Structure 1
Amino acid sequence: MKNLIFIFVYILFLVSCKGDEENLPEEPRHEALSVLDGDLFTPEGKIKASRTSHLTPLTGYTYRFYDAHGNNILRVKMSRKEDTLGITILEYDELNRKVKNLFFTYESGDFVWKTSMKSIFSENGLREDVFISAPNETEEYRYSYFYNEDGGMTEWRFGREENSEKYVYFYENGRINEEQWVLEDSHIFERYFYRYRDDGLLAAKETHGTGRNIIDDATQYEYNELGQLIQVRNYDQHWGFAYSGMTEYIYY
């Protein structure tokens, strides 16, 4: 099903008008916002929305829309009262690789650009570097990624240097079996062990609790009969693995 964003977005965005804003001079429109004037698609089997809950009830929704190639090009973030909070616009190259994320907040009836994340890819098509930019600020280096010979990610660094804070991934039989959160001083802050279902889908990430004398699930994953992820539940290992929130996924 194809939707014209120009029509749909103003039905979805339940916001109130304030004051005499129409009399104020207009700010230049960010070029990425042209996606709001184009066609959006809602392909069957793709994620329609995610909703997040923490220790309190539902905290908000994020709706997703796609282009003709099935790429997610727009995400609309809404509060639990369905007030628009902001949008993320995602841009792709000719190989359908996501090359840029642009984040906008919704303020006084308009979308205001806050930050962008730009990805650089290797000759093998793997994401190597990510840069962040913001209004009136110089572009800065943010992330670097490293891979094994099979293309599996082995490190996600928060910087360029080897001693940067990072996540490190270890593999067994072609899939991740351990994840380490390593701080700048090379101290392993957390270890997560991956547990899989018989069908190969990730069932949970286990870790040690406070005191390191027990191990239990820090994150659990649930799927529907089609193998689509429908729920991610989180538990705080520092508080006796108490439930700390979840994200649910709804599909077109």
Structure 2
Amino acid sequence: MRPITLVFFLFVALLSACSDPGEPTPIIEVDQRIIFLEQVLNGQLSTPEGKLKSESFYYGPNTLQYRTDFYYDSQGRELLRVGIQDEDTTAVYLNEYLEDGKLDQTGMYSLGPAGFVFTHYFKRFYENNGQTINVLIGRDGNFSQHEQFKLDERGRKISYRRGTETAYDLHEYFYANDQSTQIIEEHYLQSGMTEPFYRYRYDYDEQDLLFAKSLQLLGPEYRPAFEYNYDEKGNLIEEITNDLYFGTLPTERKTFEYY
């Protein structure tokens, strides 16, 4: 009888603990950002003909590292970017837009053991009639500087900065004249520099497609640090990064596919 009695008292104790009105019921918080992401993923995703479908990154330059797939909304705006590595989804980027159509913020979500987890936002702020775009990174009210884009009065990009105002990589873009829309030179500087570390020359073909960004490195001649290839429709299908210190050797490669 003793084992049965012991089980009975354990049952009563457990029942009393479960029905104790003084013990608070745990509250399960629902992340509305995850609900929003799942609604988008389960909704209608557009794949407009001619839009970028995927970007693959190779190192070596032939070893695939990861792929990014692109999906769009009903207006043809980029809605989702999905990062894939070894055939597994690693991250999702979800774009949200302002009423005027400008990009507002991009939420980054990583895939954990129990599903997607919100990581952070890339939040955009527009100044000077949209000629300065500051991008902050963070979440829950805590943000820090991440990127800055600057455009001129004609909407041409004139600089891109990655980092803060004091610790950054800076790219400056130059045009032949006030009417030209083709970049002819790009200067790359790091924080503290007064002179560019690199000066890239932009080379175009007879169809005005950029086929190389070239440098004078370890010699007087220009050699391609980056090379670009296109399909018959003029879509970029390959970008090659070269090492110029030991000849002209490809080290990285990106390929692009379209819907």
Task: Please confirm whether the aligned pair reaches a TM-score higher than 0.5, indicating the same fold.
Answer: yes
Q: Distance in 1 between the 2:90 and 2:166 partners?
A: 37
Of 116, 139, 145, the residue aligned with 2:121 is 116
Relative to structure 2, which stretch is displaced further, 242-251 or 123-132?
Answer: 123-132
In the alignment, structure 1 residue 225 sits paired with structure 2 residue 257: no
Shift of 1:70: 0.3
Matches within 5 A, 1:189-228: 189-209=197-217, 211-228=218-235
Equivalent position of 2:83 in the other structure: 77
Q: Distance in 1 between the 2:150 and 2:240 partners?
A: 28
In the alignment, structure 1 residue 237 sits paired with structure 2 residue 244: yes
Over residues 152-194 of structure 1, what are the superposed CA-to-partner deviations in whole Å (9 max), with x where a residue is unaligned? 1212234564895411111114121111111222242111110
Matches within 5 A, 1:122-201: 122=127, 124-134=129-139, 138-158=142-162, 161=165, 165-173=169-177, 174=180, 175-186=182-193, 187-201=195-209
Relative to structure 2, which stretch is displaced further, 93-102 or 70-79?
Answer: 93-102
The answer on whether the counterparts of 1:130 and 1:142 sit within 8 Å (CA) in structure 2 is yes
Shift of 1:94: 2.2
Over residues 174-231 of structure 1, what are the superposed CA-to-partner deviations in whole Å (9 max), with x where a residue is unaligned? 121111111222242111110111111111100123x344421011111111111111
Q: Which residue type is aligned with residue 173 of structure 2? A: Y
User: Structure 1: where are the runs of 5+ without partners?
Assistant: 1-24
Q: Which residue type is aligned with residue 245 of structure 2? A: H
* TM-score (normalised: structure 1): 0.80
Equivalent position of 1:14 in the other structure: none
Over residues 99-128 of structure 1, what are the superposed CA-to-partner deviations in whole Å (9 max), with x where a residue is unaligned? 212211111141122221111123534452
Secondary structure of 1:238's counterpart equals coil
Q: Distance in 1 between the 2:84 and 2:233 partners?
A: 27
Secondary structure of 1:40's counterpart equals coil
Q: Distance in 1 between the 2:124 and 2:109 partners?
A: 18
CA root-mean-square deviation:
2.4
Secondary structure of 2:41's counterpart equals helix
In the alignment, structure 1 residue 51 sits paired with structure 2 residue 59: no
Q: Which residue type is aligned with residue 119 of structure 1? A: R
Q: Which residue type is aligned with residue 218 of structure 1? A: A
Equivalent position of 2:253 in the other structure: 246
Q: Which residue type is aligned with residue 47 of structure 1? A: L
| Structure index of larger Rg | 2
Shift of 1:237: 2.4
Q: Distance in 2 between the 1:111 and 1:162 partners?
A: 34
Q: Distance in 1 between the 2:246 and 2:109 partners?
A: 35
Secondary structure of 2:197's counterpart equals strand
Q: Distance in 2 between the 1:181 and 1:46 partners?
A: 30
Q: Which residue type is aligned with residue 71 of structure 2? A: F
The answer on whether the counterparts of 2:211 and 2:227 sit within 8 Å (CA) in structure 1 is yes
Q: Distance in 2 between the 1:109 and 1:199 partners?
A: 50
Q: Distance in 2 between the 1:197 and 1:132 partners?
A: 38
- Percent identical pairs in the alignment equals 29
Q: Which residue type is aligned with residue 160 of structure 2? A: W
Q: Distance in 2 between the 1:100 and 1:57 partners?
A: 32
Shift of 1:87: 0.9
Q: Distance in 2 between the 1:68 and 1:102 partners?
A: 19
Shift of 1:96: 2.3
Q: Which residue type is aligned with residue 61 of structure 1? A: R
Q: Which residue type is aligned with residue 106 of structure 2? A: N
Equivalent position of 2:12 in the other structure: none
Secondary structure of 1:41's counterpart equals coil
The answer on whether the counterparts of 1:208 and 1:237 sit within 8 Å (CA) in structure 2 is no
Over residues 221-245 of structure 1, what are the superposed CA-to-partner deviations in whole Å (9 max), with x where a residue is unaligned? 1111111111111112234331112
Of 92, 96, 105, the residue aligned with 1:100 is 105
